[in-house]
Homo-oligomer: A and B are copies of this chain.
Amino acid sequence: MTSEKDKPDLYWLFSPRTIAVVGATKNISKVGGQVINNLRIGGYKGKVFPIHPKHDKIFGWTVHKSVKNVSEPLDLVVSVIPNHKTAPIVEECVEIGAKFVQIITAGFQEIASFEPEAMKYQDEITKSLKRAKGTTRIIGPNCMGITSTGSNLNAMMGFLPLAKSLDGFNISITSQSGTWTWNVVNFANSHGIGIANAISNGNELDLTFEDFIEYFGFHCERTNAIVGFLEGFRNSQKIKKIAAEISEKKPIIILKGGKTKSGARSASSHTGSIAGSYAIFKSFCKQAGIIEAEDSSDLIDLARAAKIFHPNKFPRGNRVTIFTGGGGAGVILSDILENHGLQLAKLEKETIEKLSEILPPHWPHGNPVDSVGSMEVWMQLKKIMKIISQDNNTDIIMTSIPTMGAAQDDIPEPMKKWAKRVMGIEEINRDVLVSFDRNIAKDIIRILRKTDKLLVFPTSHYNSEGHYEYEIFTKLFENGVLVVSNAVDGSRIIKKMLAYKEFLKKRRNK
Contact = CB atoms under 8 A, between A and B. Distances in A.
A60 interface: no
Interface string A308-335: 0000000000000000011111111011
Contact of A343 (B262, B267, B368): B262
A34 B414 contact: yes
A136 B54 CA distance: 92
Contact of A329 (B113, B177, B370): B177
A344 B295 contact: no
B159 A418 contact: yes
A345 to B, nearest CB: 11
A113 B114 CA distance: 71
A457 B178 CA distance: 22
Given A295-B332, A422-B29, A327 B415 contact: no
A328 B257 contact: yes
A175 to B, nearest CB: 7
Contact of A332 (B37, B113, B263, B421): B263
Interface stretch (A206-214, A242-250, A459-467, A472-480): A459-467
A327 B179 contact: yes
Given A107-B361, A178-B326, A334 B262 contact: yes
A486 B296 CA distance: 10
Contact of A331 (B270, B372, B417, B466): B270
A257 B297 contact: no
A339 interface: yes
A294 B260 CA distance: 23
A19 interface: no
Contacts of A461: 463-464
Nearest to A331: B257
Contacts of A179: 325-329, 373
B114 A365 contact: yes
Contact of A177 (B83, B257, B326, B488): B326
Contacts of A337: 262
A176 interface: yes
Which of A270, A297, A338 has the most C-beta atoms of chain B within 10 angstroms of its own C-beta?
A: A270
Nearest to A104: B373
A328 B180 contact: yes
B175 A328 contact: yes
Interface string A342-374: 011000000000000000111011101010110
14 contacts: A28-B421, A107-B361, A157-B373, A159-B375, A177-B326, A177-B328, A177-B331, A179-B373, A257-B331, A258-B331, A259-B339, A263-B331, A269-B366, A485-B485
Q: Which 5 A-B pairs have the closest CB atoms?
A: A177-B328, A179-B326, A270-B327, A180-B328, A263-B335
